[in-house]
Amino acid sequence: MKLPWQKSSSSSSTGSVKGLNDSRLRFEVIINNIEDGVVLIDDQGTIQSFNPGAANISGWPVDDATGINYSQVMQLVNDKGEVIPNEVSPFTEIFRSGQVIHDDNAILQTKDKKQVPVSLSINPLLNDSGQVTAAIAVFRNVTTQRAEEKQRADFISTASHEMRTPVAAIEGYLALALNDKVSTIDSRARDYLEKAHSSTQHLGQLFQDLLTSAKAEDGRLTSHPAVIELGGLLEQSTNDLRFVAEKKGLFVEFAVGSSNNTINARRTEGGERVVRPLYYTYADPDRIREVISNLFENAVKYTDEGKITIGLTGDNQVVQCSVKDTGPGIPAEDLPHLFQKFYRVDNSATRTIGGTGLGLFICRKIIELYNGRVWAESEVGKGSSFYINLPRLSTEKANQMIASSSGAKDV
Ligand code: ADP
């Protein structure tokens, strides 16, 4: 496929040569004058086009970069400054998956080995049979935005850290005042103090969530990824969380398998384990538990009756966990915003229930750490379903990784 801004030896054979030339010229003017870097990579990994914006950001002169393999020029590094290996680079991934890739937190290593934060998007060019024939990468230098975001996050994180201590002290003293063995108070004072105690607990939770979300935003969230088997992890989490739901009269179910062919993975009455597939992924088990428990606690919080189902399924590429409830549901217009910071649905079904609006934002940040995706589907009055997709490791690959790095954790 030839694009207007690729070098072309001959002009078009169609009648409107002038029109084509004009549009090519216009295109070249745009591509050569925008600040964003634009790079065209063919299916051999060779850079076919490299605009001046790309040269400016990467430090690679246009003529040096054009015609060589992208891996020499478009080197991405992780937040520890280590070069991301070719096998897992998004420039390789795009030819495998054919799916558009966006990464707002990418870091490009320049020719002089400096690191430039970039917002990167890579689009595949597909032929008629759906094969990726080329990829176009567009990237923007976001150094200033990142510095400002960091300043904001630093402020929030310091402020919430400092405020947690006095709030914890107030909460402690209120608990003492409410303790019959320590204090004597009349029933009206008890009522006031109970309200104050619950608001202080809410404030403490808000500071905790603020601190976690600030860390998630500037990449300071601690993560110790390992090979984990999600079936075992989910089953254990379900058992740990079951009590809170059952206390509220909600039934809890754990289901493994496709939605049409649900297999109960719990022990049978005879005590044997039902055989189920193994769903391996590479992530920090504590962080994944945090996400599951957040989704589960929301399901309990917003559901008055019925059941909560924790599900697990997948295909060769993806493991999918779900948390479904029979609660009030979420209006369609709110669904795309649920995972934004401080977003709370403004309706009587959920607004009156306490919360910070940060839980789902933190869930998204955690899942994105492991190249996964989290989203919700719902219809008002018909309950809500939250889904998490994580890249699946084959059992063979998981065993290899466990053997070679002793990277597995007992979950
Ligand atoms: P919150 O602390 O408010 O629960 P979250 O970020 O966890 O914050 O959730 C954001 C909003 O999404 C909630 O305020 C609620 O309106 C809605 N929500 C989340 N989970 C559910 C659910 N299971 N059922 C209905 N609404 C939900």
DSSP, res 87:
G
pLDDT tens for 42-54 read 999 999 999 999 9
Q: Please report, for the domain that includes residue 51, its CATH number.
A: 3.30.450.20
Per-residue pLDDT of the chain (411 residues; tens, 9 = 90+): 444 444 433 333 333 445 556 788 888 888 899 999 999 999 999 999 999 999 999 999 999 999 999 999 999 998 788 899 888 889 988 998 888 998 888 999 999 999 999 999 999 999 988 899 999 999 999 999 988 878 888 888 888 889 888 999 999 999 999 999 999 999 999 999 999 999 999 899 888 888 888 888 777 788 899 999 999 999 999 999 999 999 999 999 999 875 433 333 444 444 455 567 899 999 999 999 999 999 999 999 999 999 999 999 999 899 999 999 999 999 999 999 999 988 999 876 666 777 888 999 999 999 999 989 999 999 999 999 999 999 999 999 899 888 887 544 444
The alpha carbon of 385 and the centre of ligand 1 are apart by a number of angstroms equal to: 12
**68 and 213 assigned to the same domain:** no
Q: Which of 195, 219, 243 is the last residue of a domain?
A: 219
**318 and 258 assigned to the same domain:** yes
Residue 357 CA, closest ligand 1 atom number: 8
Residue 339 CA, closest ligand 1 atom number: 6
Ligand 1, atom 9: nearest CA belongs to which residue?
A: 357
Per the structure, the complete domain to which residue 57 belongs is given by 21-141
Residue 325 CA, closest ligand 1 atom number: 23
The preferred substitution site among 244, 294, 360, 363 for testing ligand 1, maximizing ligand atoms within 8 Å of CB, is 360
Q: Which of 141, 160, 192 is the last residue of a domain?
A: 141
The alpha carbon of 286 and the centre of ligand 1 are apart by a number of angstroms equal to: 21
Of 394, 358, 393, 354, give the one whose Cα is nearest residue 372: 393
Q: Please report, for the domain that includes residue 386, its CATH number.
A: 3.30.565.10
Q: How many CB atoms lie within 10 A of CB 189?
A: 13
Tokens of 138: 């567009």
**235 and 215 assigned to the same domain:** no
39 close to 49: Cβ distance less than 8 angstroms? yes
Tokens of 145: 């935005």
Into how many domains does the chain fold? 3
The preferred substitution site among 292, 294, 302 for testing ligand 1, maximizing ligand atoms within 8 Å of CB, is 302
Specify the pTM: 0.67
Task: Please check whether residue 242 lies inside any domain of the structure.
Answer: yes
**304 and 320 assigned to the same domain:** yes
Task: Please check whether residue 129 lies inside any domain of the structure.
Answer: yes
CB distance 359 to ligand 1 below 6 Å: yes
**385 and 259 assigned to the same domain:** yes
Task: Please check whether residue 6 lies inside any domain of the structure.
Answer: no
Task: Using the CB atoms, write b or e for 312-348: b if 16+ within 10 Å.
Answer: bbbeeebbbbbbbbbbbbbeeebbeebbebeebbeee
Rg of the chain taking only CA atoms, in angstroms: 26
Q: Which of 141, 160, 180 is the last residue of a domain?
A: 141
Residue 356 CA, closest ligand 1 atom number: 2
**127 and 264 assigned to the same domain:** no
CB distance 209 to ligand 1 below 6 Å: no
**298 and 345 assigned to the same domain:** yes
Residue 351 CA, closest ligand 1 atom number: 16
CB distance 311 to ligand 1 below 6 Å: no
Ligand 1, atom 18: nearest CA belongs to which residue?
A: 298
pLDDT tens for 52-105 read 999 999 999 999 999 999 999 999 998 788 899 888 889 988 998 888 998 888
**167 and 247 assigned to the same domain:** no
Phi, psi of 365 (to 5 degrees): -60, -40
